[in-house]
Each structure stands twice: as C-alpha cells, then as structure tokens.
Chains A and B, each alone.
Chain A
Amino acid sequence: MGNVLVWAIWIGAAAACLGSGIAVVSFANPFFSALALIGNLASLAVLFLLASAEFVAAAQVLVYAGAVMVMFLFVIAYLGGRADTPFEGGPSWVSFGAVLAATALLVEIVVAIGLKAGDLLADEAEVGAAFGSPAEIGRFFLTDHLLAFEITSIVLLIAAVGGVILGTKTRAEEQLDRLDKAAP
C-alpha cells in the first residue's frame, strides 16, 4: 500500500516536473514562464522528499522557489511582463543542434549511471535515520567536501562583488548624468 502511494506521488511529481519544464520554454509571456519555473522547482522538491532528503527539499523551496524566483518575478514585472514576440524557431540548425545536444546528454547520463552503478542498481539503498538530516549534511560540508564548499563560497563572493561593481556608476558617468540634467 505504502509503495503504491510512493509510486503514485513519484509519477505525479515527475510528470509535473517535465510538464512545467516544457511550459517554461513554450510560454510566450515571460511572467508565465517564471511561474512555470516555480512549479518545476516545487515538483523537484517533492522528488527530493521521496528520496528522503527533507532538508534539501526545504532548502530548494526556500532558496530557489522562494528567494531567487521572487527576484525573477520582480524584474519581469518591472520591465512590463508583456507578451514578447514568441521565439520563431531561428535557423533550422539551431533546433537540430539542440536535439542533438539533448540526446548526447541523455546518452551520457545513462552510460555514466550504467557504468558507475552497474549491478548495484538492483540493490536497495541503505537509508539510515540520519540520512539527509541537517546535521549529517553539515558534517559532510565540513569534512569530506570542505574544499568544494569553500570554493563555492569564494565564487559566490566574487559574484556578489561583481554585481556591486557592475551596478555602481563610475564617477565619469555620474558627471555625464549631471551635465545631462543641467542642460536645458
């Protein structure tokens, strides 16, 4: 019974994930695309929940579906949010390349999983009580994956500083602004 429920939720969430993903790229109105992206992130969170990763699911909703998408909606609504001209398809080699790249990715994932996991896929994973708990994730961040964790933080810091620099006007630009205002 429990298994059937899990399967039903998994199929629902996976379908929602694919459906909202397609919706993101097919809506002409960017506001709807952003809303579909929120749906996509939320259904991903459900998939994380099914994989016993409650903390990752909550963080996914909090950080991506919450904070990041608020900024997306802010910018889209601020710029008007009107229906832009839909994507005409571009030159035919673009769509051909897109399909080719997507297929290559899919093959790569299947081959990588097949080579790495092999027969292990038939075995059930051992999921302890501590699996996916905040304490366990924190321990991994500060022991096994410390280098990646620190490098990520530096990259984010650089991005923040870059954002400030790009957003700040230089003194020369400010003077030009002042001249523009002074001119009749």
Chain B
Amino acid sequence: MTEPWWISVIKALIIINLVLVGFAYLTLAERKVMGRMQLRYGPNRAGPFGLLQPAADLMKLIRKESFFPASAVDVLYIASPFVAAFTALSTFSVIPFGPGWEIFGYQVDGQVVDVPISLILIFAIGSIGTFGFIVAGWASDSKFALLGAMRTCAQLVSYEVSLALSVLGVVLMAQSLSLTEIVAGQDGTWWYVVPQFVGFVVFLLAGTAETARAPFDLPEAEQELVAGYHTEYGGMRFGLFTMSEYINLITLSGLAVTLFLGGWHFFFLDGLGPIWFLVKLLALLFLFIWIRTTLPRLRYDQLMRFGWKVLLPVATLNAVVTAILVVAL
C-alpha cells in the first residue's frame, strides 16, 4: 500500500519544523559545548540554562534592519539566501528515519519521499545550493565577500569528488542508490562502517570541508575575510545563510548515519527506529563540534594538497578495492 499524497504533505511540514528546531538548538548546543571545552560557561542568560537563547537570537535577527550595499546586484543579492536555505531544507526529505508505520489504516513511510536515486538527488540538490553562496559573494560587490565565494568554489570542487567517491563503496555493497535499500542492506548484519571504514573517514573529512566547518573553514576565516561570502549580509538574510549551513551539517550527519551507521536500525529494539536515528545523529553532530573546538584551521595550500593528494587517492583506492571485492566474493 502506498501512502496518500496528503500524508506526505503533513509529514513534510512536521519534518521541516523538526529540522528547523534542530538547527536552532544545534547553534545553542555548539556554543555550550564549545564554551565548556574552552573552560567557559557558554550562553546562560536567556531562560534556564540559556535554553531560550535561540529564540532571543531569532528575535534579534528579525528586528534588524535589512541593510543593503548600494552597489550590490539587488535581485541576486536578495535571492541567494533563499536558494541556499531552500536547497538545504529540501535535501533532508529523502533521508529515511524509520521503518514506516500504519496509522489509522493509512500507510506512513519512514521518509518524506522515497525515490530510487535518492543518494544522487541529495548531491544534485546540494550542488545547486552552493550557487547560493557563490552568487551571494559575487552580488555583494565586496572584496571580502568575493574572496570568500572564490574559496567556497575551489574548496567545494576539490572535496566534492572525494565525497562522491567515498559513498561509492557503500553503493557497490548495497547495489542500490536508494537510501531505504541501503538501510535495509545493513539490517541484521554489520553496519557499512565496518567494511567501509576508510570510506567513512573520507566521508567525514570531505563532509567537514563541504560544509566549510573548522578545520576547513577557510571560506569564512574571520581573521582574514571578516566573514567570507556573507560579509555584506545582515538580519534575517544572514540568518538564512547560517541556517542553511547548519542544516547542511544536519543533513550530512543524517546521510552518514544512513550510509554507514545502519540508519534507524539497532542491534535490538528496532521498534524505536526514529530514536536510534536521532541518537546516532546527535553523536555525529557532537563529533563535528568536538573537531571544531580541537583542530586549528589549515593553511590554504595544505587544504588543497590534502584534498587532491591524500583524500582523493585514498577514496579512489577504496572504491576500486571495494569493487574488486564485491565482484570476487
């Protein structure tokens, strides 16, 4: 039985709001965890334990004046934050978070939409999303913003190849591009993180670079570029860019959970599907915050050398060896 279209719409609304709340509290969690790791308290004034800090930030951003550089290209300047935010939100729709249920006689699938090529779809929409960042940097007509956008371009092109090659091993083992089938392939057996450990590490490293987080945050290096491509943005337009960056991180972690960590499966208690998914997701997000507080930023030549001379050969070798083993075994 397939699910009726209106259930998909309701589910999409719920998931979008959950992801948005997740984003809001991820910013708080990041500041709190970073604070503790740097022997500070982190935000603790707005509400108990600073729990209302995201709401306070939102109010601040919304009430700010929508400042606009006089020489900016207006249409592109205004449109690019929306492109970035829209593509970031839409990619989460294909990530499976549960087995699917029957509620009041209606079939409810464990993801918003199930398409047979969902893995490629995520990469395709994500690659459109990068235009939001690049066009924003160009349309701002500012040297810092343009340099940030140039760095974003170069970094994304360099690391996207490794990212795509690192998931190839999983695709070969599951023999499918569908995320639901990849999750099903990990049921009752080893998660793909065990046979594909190299792929997992490459995925995490290239993913950190794709989302431009420390130690790969050169596109937004504050000390050199003020803020990178969103230097000239303020208020909620800036908020949309921050939102899309954090949501891209959440989607990337969700993708890592789906591809390498068994998705919503656990060794036992499979009925708690979405909860296991959430637990694994949070663990990965914590890992990303941990990496950010621990490692210093790379130099630009180190970034390029690492991407092309270390990560890409390792990812290629991993894909080739996996292909040989899958055919031979």
Contact = CB atoms under 8 A, between A and B. Distances in A.
Interface stretch (B152-160, B267-275, B278-286): B152-160
A77 interface: yes
B138 A58 contact: no
A73 B153 contact: yes
Nearest to B127: A66
A65 B83 CA distance: 14
Interface in A53-68: 54-55, 58-59, 61-62, 65-67
Residues of A in contact with B, size category: 20 to 34
B52 interface: no
B138 A70 contact: no
Interface string A17-57: 00000000000000100010010001000000000001100
Given A35-B135, A70-B130, A73-B134, A55 B120 contact: yes
B174 interface: no
Specify the main secondary structure of chain A where it touches its partner: helix
Contacts of A35: 76, 135
Interface in A81-99: 81
A153 interface: no
Contacts of B134: 70, 73-74, 77
Nearest to B134: A73
Interface residues of B, number: 26
A69 B120 CA distance: 18
B117 A81 contact: no
A115 interface: no
B244 to A, nearest CB: 16
Contact of A134 (B128, B135, B177): B177
Q: Tell which of B115, B121, B137 has the most Cβ of chain A within 10 Å.
A: B121
A73 B131 CA distance: 9
B291 interface: no
A55 to B, nearest CB: 6
Interface string B121-135: 101110110110011
Interface of B: 76, 115-117, 120-121, 123-125, 127-128, 130-131, 134-135, 137-138, 146, 149-150, 153-154, 156-157, 160, 177
18 contacts: A31-B138, A58-B117, A58-B120, A59-B120, A66-B128, A66-B130, A70-B127, A70-B157, A71-B153, A74-B153, A74-B154, A74-B157, A77-B137, A77-B150, A78-B150, A81-B138, A134-B116, A134-B177
